[in-house]
Amino acid sequence: MSSETVYVLADAHLGATPERAAALHQFLATVPAAGDHVIINGDLFDFWFEYGRVIPRTAFGTLAELAAMRRRGVRLSVTGGNHDRWGRGFWERELDAAFYRGAGELSLAGFRAYVAHGDGVAEPRAGSRLLHAITRHPLTAAAFRWIHPDVGFGLVERLSGVVGEQNRAPAAVERAAVAQRAWATALLARRPDLELVVLGHTHRAALVPAGERRWYLNPGAWMDGFCYAAIGAGGPVLRSYRPR
């Protein structure tokens, strides 16, 4: 039986308000201990893109905190979300983290887990499915790298505002959360070897039993009340962080 504690957080969307980043930095500095494992399950940043020699300056403080956490012996895994999946080796080389552009299968506190951000797996809107297909395509990322970063980030901020308003409508969020839960429980039914399916993206916390010591888990959004999940030998629990 594993003695590690695994902390899962998603959808921080750092870059919009300093309070989100400050709370996360405090969490990373005080909560995980040596031997623990932190999973950032997509959309850590409101937008992240790696060029050959450039990374976003607004990410510097958070990356420094993650590096300090790694030096304390805390394991780090990162999955790409629909806002930040375009990595080129930075996470592995600079932070010695595991990085998954899509899904990964990991052992979390002794539980076999399927971990993915969750975008594209159960999108009820055809427009969202098309957008995810376009942004995931390697040619899209290759073309974007030819745009000056200041111009590219400005374009993304304007587009994100328009698309975000549509996707954050309460009815759209509820449909996405219901579809995601159905997808996750169906995956658990098909894969008896899995004990956990961990998703994010909908900003809706969920902990759904799917049999003895088997669950669908969504930690909720860090940006909405500093929500996260902790997984220990007894299974996952939902929590929220209270900054000092």
Measure the CA–CA gap between 186 and 227, rounded to whole angstroms. Answer: 25
Measure the CA–CA gap between 33 and 27, rounded to whole angstroms. Answer: 11
**pLDDT the model gives residue 70:** 97
Q: Which residues of 164-173 are buried (b: 16+ CB within 10 A; e: fewer)?
A: eeebeeeebe
User: What CATH superfamily is the domain 6-240?
Assistant: Metallo-dependent phosphatases (3.60.21.10)
Q: Dihedral of the CA atoms 220, 100, 178, 140 (nearest 10)?
A: 110
For each successive 10 residues of the chain (244 residues), what is the average pLDDT? 87 90 96 96 90 84 96 96 83 94 94 94 63 68 77 75 58 87 96 97 95 97 97 97 92
At 160-170, the pLDDT tens digits run 654 554 556 78
Q: Name the pTM for this structure.
A: 0.89
**Length in residues, the chain:** 244
The dihedrals phi and psi of 211, each to the nearest 5 degrees, come to: 130, -175
Q: Are 208 and 215 in contact (CB under 8 A)?
A: yes
Residue ranges of domains in the chain: 6-240
**pLDDT the model gives residue 136:** 67
**pLDDT the model gives residue 167:** 55
Q: Quote the tokens at residue 184.
A: 């996750």
**pLDDT the model gives residue 55:** 81
**pLDDT the model gives residue 160:** 65
Tell me which H or E stretch contains 136: helix 126-136
**pLDDT the model gives residue 117:** 94
Strand order through the sheet with 98-100:
98-100, 75-79, 37-41, 6-9, 227-232, 235-240
> Which percentage of the chain shows pLDDT scores above 90?
63
Number of neighbouring beta carbons within 10 Å of residue 22 = 12
